Chain A
Amino acid sequence: MGRLLVFVEHKDGCLKKISRQILGYFSNTGGENDFEITAIIVGDSIEKKIINETASWGADEIILVEDKGLINYNPLILVQAITEIIRGKNPQLVLFGNTALGKDLAPRLAQVFSRQMVSDVIDINLEKEIINFIRPIYGGKAFEKIEISSNNLTFVTVRPNSLESFVNCYQTPKVHKHHTQINDNLPYLLKEVIKKAAEEKSLTEAEIIVSGGKGMQKAENFKLLEELAKVLGGAVGASRSVVDAGWMPYSVQVGQTGKTVKPKIYIACGISGAMQHLAGMSTSQVIVAINKDPDAPIFKVADYGIVGDLLQIVPLLTEELRNMYRE
């Protein structure tokens, strides 16, 4: 009997999408493989509906780490708590989302146990003796396939929107509490948390991204992309040249030195398609390109391309979609 440990992230009383994706993926493949899923939920006071939601995505067991000191993120406290849980549970895989939290915690824990970590995976396949992972490298220009024998403890972060999400399958899990002794005198102190403006919200979880390049001609024209993104319930991204020009903040840069994204639809407007940009978005499910240059390399990776003037096309597209949703 194997065991998977899944760190569940939640926000405003709901599970983050990546946590639902990880739980849903493994609870549905679980039929063919013999393993149990233990979910860890951390917080200052964990609402019942978060526990219920975790159960509904197929956790066999839920461990709550609840303490006033956990209202804000402190990696030292969480490393200690999760280390204690791992020692008690002996899992084969410890899974996080490839989020700010997962990227920070997973490698620390991997070193506590001197074990391998597989970062930013986009596919996982559990077999009896081995586990297969696929992860993008060189910013998405290539993929690394890793096989690790399944009897070793391995740490993993999973890229959002990568694992095929299934319908939830409710379990009636055992719920335990884990208490960890919090040292008041830690050399890492969180002083303040500042919320970012809505438009800077994480691109990596967005299902639809409307992205602009130098072909947008000026910063003001990004308003057109914001309107389109709003109708689609998506987020706005940008190419490196746009960020370098100061039109958009770095937090929305897509590419090898920016964010790597994998939305359902990626709409590239006025983006020529430099190698380093393609690296950041080429695993998107559907790619749409709008560009006036028919020879732009972006068309080579696009499913649908419109050759034309984006300042005319984008507002029309926004209007067309708005009418469609109204109906």
Chain B
Amino acid sequence: MKIIVLVKETFDTEAKILLESPNNISQKDVKYIINPYDEFAIEEALRIVEKFGGEVILCSVGREDSQITIRSGLALGADRAKLIVSGATDSITVSKFLAQSISQEGFDLILAGWVAIDDNNAQVPARLSELLQIPLVNVVIEIEISEDKIICRRDSDDKIEIVETGLPAIIAVQRGINEPRYPTVKNILQAKKKKIEFLYMEKIKEKVNINISYDVIQSKRKGLLIDGSSPQKAVTILVEKLKEAKVL
């Protein structure tokens, strides 16, 4: 089975977000990781290939330097990678680039994280499913593949939905689906020799008039600290304060 895994390079979860200007988030001193949800997709792909045989190809849109992060995905055991180098970050363009390169490559199954922790867009899997005209099962916490069908358990707020689909398909995974492995020393060494294919794509000029700027959180909290050495007194004060704030 030929499995494509979509991976995105994101800031580390403990990264502090600073602005260079209202339109630019600073990338200075930022540690990069593979989007944690995409790690679940890599792990699931490796498990499927371990069972059925085949190949795992990572596919990413990012910076030239994203190859360092992509290589950490290869160190988990993926066979090779395709890195589309582009300044594009919007979901429409990224999906278009991925669709082009994935349909040239050919595939049986596409796996991806359902959302990226940086832009919080959660659009690329759905857009790809429309562009490639293949079914998408979204927010999946369990995959069971048999010869001619795939059964997925999908997390849907207060329900679990069990969905059947066939190949080819795209499945966007949610945390809980598996516990990603750590890279072995052998795999880290091997990853250095694995092939990353670079593709350079120009960002298409946007037709839609859109303007984006950023703001970082500034806490405007009351910050009232109550001494808890007398617990009953502290609780009474807290309830009073909550009533004053009209939230109780």
For A264-281 the 0/1 string (1 means CB < 8 A from B) is: 110000000011100000
Q: For B122, what are the chain A residues with a Cβ–Cβ distance below 8 Å?
A: 103, 107, 119-120
The answer to the question of A3 belonging to the interface, with a C-beta cut-off of 8 Å to chain B, is no
Q: Check B212–A146 contact: CB distance below 8 A.
A: yes
Q: For A120, what are the chain B residues with a Cβ–Cβ distance below 8 Å?
A: 120, 122
Q: For B11, what are the chain A residues with a Cβ–Cβ distance below 8 Å?
A: 138
| Cα A190 to Cα B159 with chains together (Å) | 13
- Which partner residue on chain A sits nearest B23 by CB separation? A145
Contacts A117-B91, A286-B247; is A141 near B217 (CB within 8 Å)? yes
| Cα A290 to Cα B234 with chains together (Å) | 10
The answer to the question of B106 belonging to the interface, with a C-beta cut-off of 8 Å to chain A, is no
Q: Check A301–B161 contact: CB distance below 8 A.
A: no
A-B contact count (CB 8 A): 246
Q: Shortest beta-carbon distance, B67 to chain A, in Å?
A: 23
| Cα A136 to Cα B125 with chains together (Å) | 20
Q: Shortest beta-carbon distance, A289 to chain B, in Å?
A: 9
Q: Check B163–A300 contact: CB distance below 8 A.
A: no
Segment touching B, from A28-36, A40-48, A317-325: A317-325
Residues A266-309 near B (CB distance < 8 A): 274-276, 282, 285-288, 290, 292, 294, 299-309
The answer to the question of A147 belonging to the interface, with a C-beta cut-off of 8 Å to chain B, is yes
**Contact residue among A73, A140, A148, A286 (Cβ-Cβ distance under 8 Å from B245):** A286
| Cα A148 to Cα B210 with chains together (Å) | 5
| Cα A321 to Cα B240 with chains together (Å) | 11
Q: Check A308–B228 contact: CB distance below 8 A.
A: yes
The answer to the question of B190 belonging to the interface, with a C-beta cut-off of 8 Å to chain A, is no
Q: Check B151–A191 contact: CB distance below 8 A.
A: yes
Q: For A73, what are the chain B residues with a Cβ–Cβ distance below 8 Å?
A: 156, 161
Q: Check A136–B120 contact: CB distance below 8 A.
A: yes
| Cα A139 to Cα B14 with chains together (Å) | 11
The answer to the question of B185 belonging to the interface, with a C-beta cut-off of 8 Å to chain A, is no
Chain B interface size, as a band, is 35 or more
* A residues contacting the other copy or chain, number (CB 8 A): 86
Q: For B241, what are the chain A residues with a Cβ–Cβ distance below 8 Å?
A: 303-304
Q: Check A200–B158 contact: CB distance below 8 A.
A: yes
Q: Check A256–B117 contact: CB distance below 8 A.
A: yes
- Which partner residue on chain B sits nearest A308 by CB separation? B228
Q: Check B127–A300 contact: CB distance below 8 A.
A: no
| Cα A144 to Cα B211 with chains together (Å) | 10
Contacts A138-B17, A306-B226; is A189 near B163 (CB within 8 Å)? yes
The answer to the question of A76 belonging to the interface, with a C-beta cut-off of 8 Å to chain B, is yes
Q: Check A320–B235 contact: CB distance below 8 A.
A: yes
Q: Shortest beta-carbon distance, A260 to chain B, in Å?
A: 8
The answer to the question of B239 belonging to the interface, with a C-beta cut-off of 8 Å to chain A, is yes
- Which partner residue on chain B sits nearest A201 by CB separation? B158
Contacts A99-B157, A304-B226, A320-B236; is A257 near B217 (CB within 8 Å)? no
Q: Check A300–B223 contact: CB distance below 8 A.
A: yes
| Cα A101 to Cα B112 with chains together (Å) | 19
**Contact residue among B118, B214, B216, B238 (Cβ-Cβ distance under 8 Å from A317):** B238
Contacts A137-B118, A140-B217, A149-B208; is A275 near B159 (CB within 8 Å)? no
A-B contact pairs, 22 of them (CB 8 A): A75-B138, A100-B139, A138-B117, A142-B19, A146-B210, A147-B211, A148-B209, A188-B135, A189-B164, A192-B162, A193-B162, A194-B162, A257-B13, A288-B242, A290-B228, A303-B221, A303-B245, A304-B224, A307-B226, A307-B228, A308-B229, A320-B236
Given contacts A100-B156, A308-B228, 12 further A-B contacts (CB under 8 A): A100-B139, A103-B139, A104-B138, A119-B123, A145-B215, A146-B211, A194-B160, A202-B157, A264-B247, A288-B242, A299-B225, A306-B227
Among all A-B residue pairs, the 3 with the closest Cβ atoms: A308-B228, A107-B126, A111-B130
Please give the residue numbers on chain A whose beta carbons come within 8 Å of chain B beta carbons, in ascending order. 72-73, 75-76, 99-101, 103-104, 107-108, 110-112, 114-117, 119-120, 135-149, 152, 187-196, 200-202, 204, 250-251, 256-258, 264-265, 274-276, 282, 285-288, 290, 292, 294, 299-309, 312-313, 316-317, 320-321, 324
